[in-house]
Structure 1
């Protein structure tokens, strides 16, 4: 209902020029060192475009306009810490008084990187997990070392406390059939490691039947899955840690998804501006997708390229027609 009310408000104000937005998600790289079982940058093979956003493109065509956004989220389908100019990108965003965050697999959070995160004033860091135990996590996030990862999180949390930093530390848990039973224990782990919040997400893009069969959200969710999420929520309440779980039940069609593409945008590493990270997939052709056992391939959407002017694209006809098709 809230999203419908917001959409209706925008419809009633149709034609009013909006020149400030909440989030710009920027894919600084589509490269990653892990081989996660659920990730398209491995399952799509040669169709996937690997690459980094050129620093000069970020510097000249994105950073000067970040004052128009509340948050620059420097992550797409890859590992941001692999980009050789990540810290310069953070610094340029902060110079525009824009909050900065990104998601990481956490393997690169050594002493120097943790210190740099705090030195550069990163506002939000999300760290990805796929289990509360070594066996489960490492079977899904192939190449990630669970013990090293938890040690890295604890190190960062300790350093943050010592420096009294305002960095917000979130731990993200991708809910799958193979790991959802560990969600309650993961909440306890996150609290012990010093995190501020647990976010339990769904696998929203399913390019293969194998990945599609791993998802837990459905028109009629498994009652046991719902019980584990409820138990995790209770555990979070007792532990006094914020907990946000994506819904397991597919709702009726909604006017706008929780990515809020009417208020945000995604820039992939090629500079293409898209509604969200899913419609901006860095693929060579159409993006394969399987849902409810049916092939539902889709073509990526581009409103234009940042090289043609980020603000011009944000205010341009293609994006406006996507937002207000009526």
Structure 2
């Protein structure tokens, strides 16, 4: 009987149209930063910089009308893909909410006008420092250039009296910049930005970077870090901005993942389908990652290629269904055993 019920359930699922809370699309893995915190810096020549072929992206169209949100960003700068704005147009035609993220290195004033006209709903600007010299030292990229792009985008919104896109900042918090982060509220206020997220890196590429990535080793370290960020939140309110945070906990692993893998997926720049971005680093060959005090082999989680198969065929494949099954019961798949995401806490 259990086998018959499972078979009947599979048939019902295959006949039902696919619905997604979100789809994350990686338009390009070409990285516009030299930050040592980015996996590309760790993996060097193993990193594969490429753009998602537009012909592969269009294979998502049958499900976009039943998808709430599309996140057009991944491991690189999405604006490196020459088809980026066409992808946005297609998503908006299907009434999807569209978000993206960029450091702004590839954007000029005309691009900012295009962003507003395209109807992009939200755009995030990752930053690693609050002064230009440190930003150049850490990432090889000018903070002043990012600030200039944000100001151009704000002006483009004002010219057409648009509230979109909503602009926020993603600040990467590291051990060497713990004190600097208290300058974030004034920085945001000066740019007219009302919200930001402070995160410690969720992917630690090497043991050498673990301390800099602020991975607490004891509960008291986590309590201190959270109190530090709670004070930042209070200071942000004084400046009229809301600053949330995500940090890693050394405590018990979450039973459930904050990624909604039963109603979402990740389309990589090479056309492959994964449950989330962490499941598909664009690397060739075997690479290592740091996990709770030890170096382990990175294991991708991929279930097929959209360039070769229809999305429904991939989604309903036996391997993908088996992977998702524990998540329906708020459990993790065994294939996620070396992922740090379930250790994240937020406030």
State the TM-score, normalizing by the size of structure 1: 0.88
Indicate which of 74, 84, 87 corresponds to 1:86: 84
Contact map agreement 1:27 1:53 (CA 8 A) in 2 = yes
Q: CA RMSD in A?
A: 2.1
The whole-number CA distance in structure 2 between the counterparts of 1:257 and 1:287 is 24
Superposed displacement of residue 266, structure 1: 0.8
SS where residue 190 of structure 2 aligns? helix
In structure 2, stretches of 5+ residues that fail to align are: 1-8, 330-347
Report the more deviating stretch, 95-104 or 40-49: 40-49
Map 1:18-29 onto structure 2 (within 5 A): 19-29=18-28
Show the counterpart of 2:143: 146
Is contact 1:43–1:207 with CA below 8 Å preserved after alignment?
yes
- The structure-2 alpha-carbon separation of the partners of 1:228 and 1:150, relative to structure 1 and needing over 3 Å to count, comes to farther
**Equivalent residue, structure 2, for 1:10:** none
Q: Which moved more, 1:30-39 or 1:225-234?
A: 225-234
Counterparts of residues 224-235 of structure 1 (less than 5 Å) = 225-235=225-235
Instruction: Report if the CA contact (8 A) 1:123-1:168 is conserved.
Output: yes
**C-alpha distance 223-181 of structure 1, shift in aligned 2 (>3 A):** farther
Deviates more, 1:120-129 or 1:160-169: 160-169
Of residues 109, 114, 117, the one that matches 1:116 is: 114
What's the CA shift string for 1:71-113, capped at 9, x where partnerless? 1111111111111111111111111111111110122332111
User: Any residues of structure 2 matched to 1:1-326 within 5 Å, and which?
Assistant: 17=13, 19-59=18-58, 61-142=59-140, 144-162=141-159, 163-220=161-218, 221=221, 225-307=225-307, 308-325=309-326
C-alpha deviation, 1:274, in angstroms: 0.6
- Superposed displacement of residue 232, structure 1: 1.3
Contact 1:64–1:96 at 8 Å: present in 2 too? no
SS of match in other structure, 1:102: strand
Give yes or no for contact 2:25–2:71 (8 Å, CA) kept in 1.
yes
- Shift in CA distance, 217/180, structure 1 to aligned 2, threshold 3 Å: same
State the 1:160 CA deviation. 1.8
- 1:87 match: secondary structure: helix
**Using the alignment, how far apart are the partners of 2:317 and 2:255 within structure 1?**
21
- In 2, Cα distance between the equivalents of 1:232 and 1:182? 11
Deviations 1:5-24 (A, max 9, x none): xxxxxxxxx87747211111
CA distance in 2, matches of 1:133, 1:224: 25
Q: Normalising by the residue count of structure 2, what TM-score does the alignment of the two structures yield?
A: 0.83
Note the C-alpha offset of 1:224.
5.5
Larger Rg: 2
* 2:21 match: secondary structure: strand
What are the superposed Cα offsets for residues 141-162 of structure 1, whole Å, 9 maximum, x if unpaired?
A: 22x1111211221221232234
- Give deviations 1:232-271, integer Å, cap 9, x for gaps: 1011222222221013533412122222223221111111
1:259 and 1:276 in contact (8 A); partners too: yes
* Contact 1:29 1:79 (C-alpha < 8 Å) held by counterparts: yes
Moved more, 112-121 or 298-307: 298-307
In the TM superposition, what is the alpha-carbon distance from 1:174 to its structure 2 partner? 0.8
1:125 is displaced (CA, Å) by 0.4
Structure 1: state its 5+ residue gaps: 1-13
Question: 2: CA distance between counterparts of 1:225 and 1:181?
Answer: 12
**SS of residue matched to 2:24:** strand
DSSP 3-state at the match of 2:48: coil
CA distance in 1, matches of 2:313, 2:240: 44
Q: Point out the more displaced range, 155-164 or 229-238.
A: 155-164
